[in-house]
A and B are shown apart, each in its own frame.
Chain A
Amino acid sequence: MKKICCLLLIILIAFNLTGCWDSDELNELGIIMGIAIDKDTTSGKVIITSEIVNPSSLSKQSPSGKSTIEYVTTDGNTVTEAINATTKEFDRKNLLSHIKVFVISEEVARCGVNDIVDFIARSNDIRRFTSFVVAKGSSAREILGVNGGIDKIQANYMSSIIKEQITNLDVAAPNFFDFLKKMPGDRINPVAGVFGIVMKNNLPAEQKSNSIDKVDKLIGAAAFKKDKLVGFLDYSETRGYNFIIDDNHKGIYNIPSSKQDNKYLSIYMEKFRTKITPFYINAHISYNIDVKLEASIVQVSDASDVSNLKEFNDLNYTVSEYVEKDIKKTLSKIQKELKTDILGFGGCFYRKYPKEWKIIKNQWNDLFPTVNVSVKVKTKLKRTGLLLKPLDGVKENKIDFK
C-alpha cells in the first residue's frame, strides 16, 4: 500500500513537472491562412504579410463587427524573424500549420527563394502540400489582399482556385512539395503558379459599392532555374508545358476552323499520356516526345460534319498538328529564352543512360538549349457529343459512311 501511494505521488508530481507544456488554447491562437513575401528594395529586408482569421467574426452567438481576416505586416532580415515579429503587434500566437498559400513577389523570386523554401520545409508545422505561387504585375501582399470569391477567408479563395486549376489546360500551379522536390535543379527545375490581379466590372445585381473590383487570376506559370525565377510562360506556352509534363490537367482546347475564319472547334482533352525518350548517339543528344491524346468534341462552330468519318479522321490529324505546334512553341521558349530544364529532360536522360549522365551532368545547363527534340502527337477523338450534324447543315448533308 505504501509503495502504491509512493508511486501515485511520483506520478502526480510528474504531471506537475511536464503537463501541458505545449498546450495551446484555441482562443489564444491566430490561425494564419496565407503569407505574402515581399522585399523592401531600399533596406533589403523581407516584408511578410500574414493573413490571420478572426474567428469571432464567424461566430454565430456574438459576431463582432470586425472583418473575417486581419492582415499583419512585419519585416525582418529573414522570413522567420519577420513571421515571429507578428506577435509584437498582433494579440494572437501564430499557428502556422494551416497556411494554405505562400505568395512570393516577383523580385523576391528573381533573387532566389532558397531561404523561404528552407524555412517552409524545415518547419514541422507547415504542410508540404500548401500552395506556392508567384505574384506577377503587383506585389505579393496586393495579391493576398484581393478576395473575388465567395469564401470569406481570402486564402481559401486562392487555394480553391489553385485546386480547380486542373480544369484548365493552360495554367500550372504545383504545390510546395513539388517545388521542393525539383528545387535542387540538377535533373529538373521547378515551376510555380502565377497570380495576377485583373479588373472586374461589377453589375448592379451584385450590390457592391465599387463599380470595379479586383480579382486574383491564375496566369500561366513561372519557370525557375534552381531557386531563381527566370521567366514566365504565357497561356499557350503553359499548355504546351502541361502536355509534356503534367497529365493531371483537362480542359478545353480550341483549333481554328479550316472552313471559316474566326470559327473554332472546341475539343475537351480527357486524357493524355506523354513519353519522353532520350537518345544518345555519337555524343549527340536528342529527344522524342510522344503524346497520346484522348479527347471529345464539345463544340463545333463551323459547318463541319463530324459524323462524316473522313472529316472526323481529318479532325484527329488537325488536333495533333495544333498540339504539336503548341509543344514546339513551348520548347523553343524554354530552350532558347529561359534556358532552364523544367521539362525533366535531364532526369529522363539519367534514367536511360546513368553512366553517360555522369559525364554530361556538369555541362547540362549548356547542353539543354541545344538538344534536338522531335514531337509526335497522336489524337483519338472519342465522342462527338449529343449532336452529330451541324445544326444549320442538317438538311444539306447526307450521311456518308465511306
Chain B
Amino acid sequence: MFNKFINYAKYSSNLKNIKSRSKNDMKYTVETYTIDKDINTNIANLKTVFGSSDDIVYREFTFGVNKEIKAILCFVDGLIDKALIDEYLMKSLMLNIHIDNYDPSLDEAQNMFSHIKNFVINTVELEEINNFDKGIGSILAGNSILFINGCNSILSISAKGGKTREVTQLEAEVSIRGPRVAFTEVLRVNTSLVRRIIKNPDLTFESLILGNKTHTDITIAFIKGIADLKVVAEVKRRLDNIHIDAILESGNIEQLIDDNPFSPFATVGNSEKPEKVASKLLEGRVAIFCNGTPFVLTVPYLLTESIQVLDDYSSRPISASIIRLIRCLAFFITISLPALFVAFASYHQEMVPTVFLVATAASREGVPFPVFLEAILTEFTFQLLRESGIRMPKAVGSAVAIVGTLVIGQAAVEANIVSAPMVIVVALSGVTSFIVPTLFDAVLVFRFILLVLSGLFGLFGIAIGLLFMLTHLCYLESFGTPFMSPFAPLNWYNLKDTIIRLSIRIGVGTDENTAKFESNYKSSSNNNEESSGDET
C-alpha cells in the first residue's frame, strides 16, 4: 500500500515538474502592474484590467480636513453590502470623523494611510495590500478597495453582501431524526455550521484558491490530533496538483482528486449535512469545502459509509443493524436481480421451484422477445423514465410518473410485449437502487454488466461479474486507506459499525482515536464537555 503511495507521489511530482506553477503565483492579470502613488495611474490600470465591465463601481471622492486628499473606492456591484460601506467607510471619511487630529509631519501620505487604517475606518475586517494583483483579487472576492492618492498601499475593506441562498432544510439526504439544517453555497456559512458543532480549537480550516479562471475558494478542514497528517498532506498535495481553468462545484474536485478516476465506485464521499461532515471529521477524516456548492467532500471514503446513515445512530442498535442488513441486501438485489431472473429463466429452469416456473412460463407466453432482450429493454425504459423524472420540472414530473406506470407498465404487460414478472423485477431493482444512493453510479454500471454476463453465461456469468466487482473493490484505495476496510483487510474491532451497528456504549473511550481526542478536548476546554450536537 505504502509503495503504491510513494509511486503515486513520484508520478505526480513528475507531473508537477512538467507544468511547474505554484498556487501563490496565480495571476489575475496578464501584465504586471504596481500600485502607483499617483491615483490617476491606478484608475487607468484598473480600467484597463476590468475593461468595460459595468458591474465594477469606481467611486471617486475627496476627503481630509480641507478636502485635499483624493481617493477611489472600487468594488463589484452586488457583492458588497452597500449600507455597511455607506455607514462605516464613506461616512467616516467624508464627515472627517477622527481625521482632524491627524499629524501631517514626516512622510505625509504614508502617515495619512496608517492614520486612516488605524483610526478612521471602523469595520472589523480590514487589510492592507501592497500588490496590485492581490487588489484585483480582493475586488473580485467581494471586498471594497480604497485607493488613496499618494500611497503605494491600498486598503481592502471586507463588507461582503448581496444575495445568497439562506440556510435551508436538507434535500438530498433526508433524515427522520437529527438536525434539519443543510449546507448552502457560501463557504463561510458552511464552515461556521461545522464550527458550531465542533467547538474545539483543534478543528482547523485551511484555505486555498483553485481554478485558473474561476479562482474558487476551497477550504480543507480536519481535526488536529485525530486526522492522519499524512492524509491531510496528501489532500493538500492533490489539490495543489489541480491545474484547471474552472472549479464550478465540489463534484469537479472530487474527480480530480479521486484515486481511481475510471472506477464506477466513488472513493470520495460527499454530504450536505453539517452533522455528518462533523462526525466524519471526528472520525479523523478530512473535509473539503468548496465555495458555491452545498456538498462537502470527505476523504478517505470507504464502502461501508454508503450503508451508514445518521439516523442509524439515533435508533436502537438492533433495529439499526437490521436496517443496515436490509441496505446490504438492497445493494445486491439492485445489481443482480434482473441478471438472476434472466439466468433462471433462460439457463437454470431446473433450479426454480416448479410452481414458480410454471407461473413465470404462463406470464411469458406470447412475449415476442427472448428474456434477456426483454430485461435489457425494460431496464432501459426504466432508466429513461427515471432520468426524465429527475430532469423534468416538478410540475411535469407527475405526468412522467403516470406515463411510466400506466403506459409503459400496465399497457406493455397487457399488450404482451413484456411479461409481468419482468416488470416486477425491474421495478424492484429500481426501488432498491434508491436505498443506497451513494452507490448509484456503481449500481448502474454493474447491473448492466451482470445482465449481459448472465444473458451470455447464466449464473456462471453472474458469479464472474460479482467476483470481478469484489476484486475491483479490494483493489480500490481512498487516500491510502483500502476501500473495503475494515472487511479487507479484516479488522474485527472496527466491524462494530459496519453491516451491523453495535451499541454506542461499546468502544467509548477505548478506541485509540477517541481517547486521544478526549484528552485533547479536556485540556483545551473544560466547559464545552457537553455533547456537540446540542445547539445546532
Which chain A residues border B346 with CB–CB below 8 Å? 20, 23-26
Q: A55-B358, A58-B359, A61-B416 are in contact. Are A27 and B349 (CB under 8 A)?
A: no
B461's closest neighbor in chain A, by CB? A19
- In chain B, positions 440-460 with a C-beta closer than 8 Å to chain A are 455-458
Which chain B residues border A22 with CB–CB below 8 Å? 347, 458
6 residue pairs of the A-B complex, CB under 8 angstroms, read: A19-B456, A25-B371, A29-B349, A55-B365, A59-B366, A60-B362
- From A20, A25, A27, A98, B357 is in contact (CB under 8 Å) with A98
Q: Are B458 and A53 neighbours in the complex by a CB distance under 8 Å? A: no
B456's closest neighbor in chain A, by CB? A19
Q: Are B364 and A61 neighbours in the complex by a CB distance under 8 Å? A: no
- In chain B, positions 367-381 with a C-beta closer than 8 Å to chain A are 367, 370-372
Q: Are B354 and A26 neighbours in the complex by a CB distance under 8 Å? A: no
Inter-chain CA distance A15–B457, complex, in Å, is: 9
- For the complex, is B350 an interface residue (Cβ under 8 Å from A)? yes
A interface footprint on B399-425 (CB within 8 Å = 1, 0 otherwise): 000000000000001101000000000
- From B345, B360, B414, A61 is in contact (CB under 8 Å) with B414
- In chain B, positions 10-38 with a C-beta closer than 8 Å to chain A are none
A14's closest neighbor in chain B, by CB? B456
- For the complex, is B361 an interface residue (Cβ under 8 Å from A)? yes
B370's closest neighbor in chain A, by CB? A25
Which chain B residues border A59 with CB–CB below 8 Å? 362-363, 365-366
* Among A25, A53, A60: residue with most chain B CB under 10 A: A25
| 6 nearest A-B residue pairs (beta carbon) | A97-B350, A55-B361, A58-B362, A55-B362, A56-B365, A19-B456
- In chain A, positions 135-158 with a C-beta closer than 8 Å to chain B are 153, 156
A95's closest neighbor in chain B, by CB? B349
Q: Are A23 and B347 neighbours in the complex by a CB distance under 8 Å? A: yes
- In chain A, positions 82-124 with a C-beta closer than 8 Å to chain B are 95, 97-98, 100
Q: Are A62 and B365 neighbours in the complex by a CB distance under 8 Å? A: yes
Q: Are B371 and A26 neighbours in the complex by a CB distance under 8 Å? A: yes
Q: Are A98 and B347 neighbours in the complex by a CB distance under 8 Å? A: no
Q: A62-B366, A100-B354 are in contact. Are A26 and B416 (CB under 8 A)?
A: no
Which chain A residues border B455 with CB–CB below 8 Å? 19-20, 23
Which chain A residues border B370 with CB–CB below 8 Å? 23, 25
- From A23, A56, A127, B366 is in contact (CB under 8 Å) with A56
Inter-chain CA distance A22–B346, complex, in Å, is: 9
Which chain A residues border B354 with CB–CB below 8 Å? 31, 33, 98, 100, 156
Q: Are B360 and A26 neighbours in the complex by a CB distance under 8 Å? A: yes
B414's closest neighbor in chain A, by CB? A61
Which chain A residues border B359 with CB–CB below 8 Å? 58
Interface SS of chain B: helix
Which chain A residues border B360 with CB–CB below 8 Å? 26
Q: Are B416 and A62 neighbours in the complex by a CB distance under 8 Å? A: yes
- For the complex, is A356 an interface residue (Cβ under 8 Å from B)? no
A333 CB, min distance to chain B CBs, angstroms:
37
A142 CB, min distance to chain B CBs, angstroms:
23
- For the complex, is A125 an interface residue (Cβ under 8 Å from B)? yes
Once A and B bind, how many residue pairs between them come within 8 Å at the CB atom?
A: 86
A interface footprint on B333-365 (CB within 8 Å = 1, 0 otherwise): 000000000000111011000100111111111
Report the count of interface residues on A (CB-CB < 8 A): 30
Which chain B residues border A125 with CB–CB below 8 Å? 350
B interface footprint on A344-372 (CB within 8 Å = 1, 0 otherwise): 00000000000000000000000000000
Inter-chain CA distance A22–B345, complex, in Å, is: 12
A68's closest neighbor in chain B, by CB? B358
A379 CB, min distance to chain B CBs, angstroms:
41
Which chain B residues border A20 with CB–CB below 8 Å? 346, 455-456
Which chain A residues border B365 with CB–CB below 8 Å? 27, 55-56, 59, 62
Q: A53-B361, A62-B366 are in contact. Are A26 and B345 (CB under 8 A)?
A: yes
Residues of B at the A interface (CB closer than 8 Å) are: 345-347, 349-350, 354, 357-367, 370-372, 413-414, 416, 455-458
Which chain A residues border B416 with CB–CB below 8 Å? 61-62
B371 CB, min distance to chain A CBs, angstroms:
6
B416 CB, min distance to chain A CBs, angstroms:
6
B interface footprint on A38-67 (CB within 8 Å = 1, 0 otherwise): 000000000000000101111111100000
Inter-chain CA distance A269–B485, complex, in Å, is: 57
Inter-chain CA distance A124–B443, complex, in Å, is: 35
B520 CB, min distance to chain A CBs, angstroms:
49
B351 CB, min distance to chain A CBs, angstroms:
8
Q: A55-B362, A156-B354 are in contact. List 6 more A-B contacts (CB 8 A).
A: A22-B458, A26-B349, A26-B360, A31-B361, A58-B358, A61-B366
Q: A19-B456, A58-B358, A62-B416 are in contact. Are A24 and B349 (CB under 8 A)?
A: yes
A90 CB, min distance to chain B CBs, angstroms:
15
Q: Are A27 and B358 neighbours in the complex by a CB distance under 8 Å? A: no
B422 CB, min distance to chain A CBs, angstroms:
11
- From B349, B358, B456, A15 is in contact (CB under 8 Å) with B456
B343's closest neighbor in chain A, by CB? A23
A19 CB, min distance to chain B CBs, angstroms:
4
Inter-chain CA distance A24–B357, complex, in Å, is: 13
B interface footprint on A267-284 (CB within 8 Å = 1, 0 otherwise): 000000000000000000
B364 CB, min distance to chain A CBs, angstroms:
5
Which chain B residues border A19 with CB–CB below 8 Å? 455-457
Which chain B residues border A23 with CB–CB below 8 Å? 346-347, 370, 372, 455, 458
Which chain B residues border A57 with CB–CB below 8 Å? 362
B446 CB, min distance to chain A CBs, angstroms:
17
* Among A26, A31, A62: residue with most chain B CB under 10 A: A26
Which chain B residues border A29 with CB–CB below 8 Å? 349, 361
Which chain A residues border B362 with CB–CB below 8 Å? 55-60
- From A18, A26, A33, A98, B364 is in contact (CB under 8 Å) with A26
A390 CB, min distance to chain B CBs, angstroms:
47
B71 CB, min distance to chain A CBs, angstroms:
61
Which chain B residues border A100 with CB–CB below 8 Å? 354
Q: Are B458 and A26 neighbours in the complex by a CB distance under 8 Å? A: no
Inter-chain CA distance A26–B370, complex, in Å, is: 9
Inter-chain CA distance A24–B347, complex, in Å, is: 6
B193 CB, min distance to chain A CBs, angstroms:
45
Which chain B residues border A27 with CB–CB below 8 Å? 361, 364-367
* Among B360, B365, B455: residue with most chain A CB under 10 A: B365
Which chain B residues border A60 with CB–CB below 8 Å? 362-363
Which chain B residues border A58 with CB–CB below 8 Å? 358-359, 362
Inter-chain CA distance A19–B458, complex, in Å, is: 10
Which chain A residues border B456 with CB–CB below 8 Å? 15, 18-20
B346's closest neighbor in chain A, by CB? A23
Inter-chain CA distance A60–B346, complex, in Å, is: 22
Inter-chain CA distance A104–B363, complex, in Å, is: 33
Inter-chain CA distance A42–B371, complex, in Å, is: 46
B207 CB, min distance to chain A CBs, angstroms:
39
Inter-chain CA distance A211–B414, complex, in Å, is: 40
B interface footprint on A282-321 (CB within 8 Å = 1, 0 otherwise): 0000000000000000000000000000000000000000
Inter-chain CA distance A56–B363, complex, in Å, is: 8
B465 CB, min distance to chain A CBs, angstroms:
13
A19's closest neighbor in chain B, by CB? B456
Which chain A residues border B371 with CB–CB below 8 Å? 25-26
Inter-chain CA distance A164–B361, complex, in Å, is: 27
Q: Are B361 and A153 neighbours in the complex by a CB distance under 8 Å? A: no
A151's closest neighbor in chain B, by CB? B355
B110 CB, min distance to chain A CBs, angstroms:
62
Which chain A residues border B364 with CB–CB below 8 Å? 25-27, 55
Which chain B residues border A18 with CB–CB below 8 Å? 456
* Among B370, B413, B458: residue with most chain A CB under 10 A: B370
Inter-chain CA distance A127–B349, complex, in Å, is: 12
Which chain B residues border A33 with CB–CB below 8 Å? 354
A29's closest neighbor in chain B, by CB? B349
Q: A53-B358, A53-B361 are in contact. Are A98 and B366 (CB under 8 A)?
A: no
A124's closest neighbor in chain B, by CB? B350
Inter-chain CA distance A53–B358, complex, in Å, is: 8
B369's closest neighbor in chain A, by CB? A25
Inter-chain CA distance A242–B3, complex, in Å, is: 71
